[in-house]
């Protein structure tokens, strides 16, 4: 069954959080019976101080619970346990949803810049000043060694 996963928020939890330098909050839910606009309107009750604004809607073969688990496995945090609100931007949520839908595998790489592409570091040395050296490795990355 095809579902629609939707994102919504309100100005206090999204735009205002960005203005304060914080990560915004998105509600990530799904529906199979209604349009996403109808579903959001259904949740916009007298308990909501601000207008709920749809931030995205996507047809998917999976539901919101499965996507929530995926987001949590990537390190995104819920605002409260057992809730559907996440600390995440629209852009990140959309990218993660599309990647998950399309089967993109995420690989986390951790490396020590001093051991990366050691042969390139020796030839790619660019003096900047007395205390910092900038290296260019074979992948095109640049990093500074503050020795």
HEC letters along the chain = CCEEEEEEECCCCCHHHHHCCCCCEEEEEEECCCCHHHHHHHHCCCCCCCCCEEEEEEEECCCHHHHHHHHHHCCCCECCCCCCEEECCHHHHHHHHHHHHCCCCCCCCCCCCCCCCHHHHHHCCEECCCCCEEEECCCCCEEEECC
Residue 48: predicted pLDDT: 85
Mean pLDDT by 10 residues, the chain (147 residues): 90 96 96 88 87 94 95 95 95 95 72 49 43 49 48
**pLDDT given at position 1:** 66
> Looking at residue 110, what is its pLDDT?
55
10 Å Cβ neighbour count for 52? Answer: 16
């Amino acid at each position: 069954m095809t579902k629609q996963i939707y994102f919504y928020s309100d100005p206090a939890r999204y735009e205002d959080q960005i203005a304060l330098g914080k990560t915004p909050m998105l509600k990530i839910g799904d529906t199979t019976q209604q349009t996403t606009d109808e579903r959001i309107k259904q949740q916009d009750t007298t308990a909501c101080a601000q207008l709920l604004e749809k931030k995205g809607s996507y047809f998917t073969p999976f539901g919101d619970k499965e996507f929530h688990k995926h987001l949590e496995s990537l390190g995104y945090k819920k605002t409260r346990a057992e809730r559907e609100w996440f600390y995440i931007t629209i852009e990140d949520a959309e990218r993660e949803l599309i990647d998950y839908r399309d089967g993109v595998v995420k690989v986390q790489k951790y490396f020590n810049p001093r051991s990366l592409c050691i042969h390139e570091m020796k030839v790619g040395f660019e003096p900047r000043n007395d205390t910092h050296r900038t290296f260019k490795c074979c992948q095109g990355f640049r990093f500074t060694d503050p020795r």
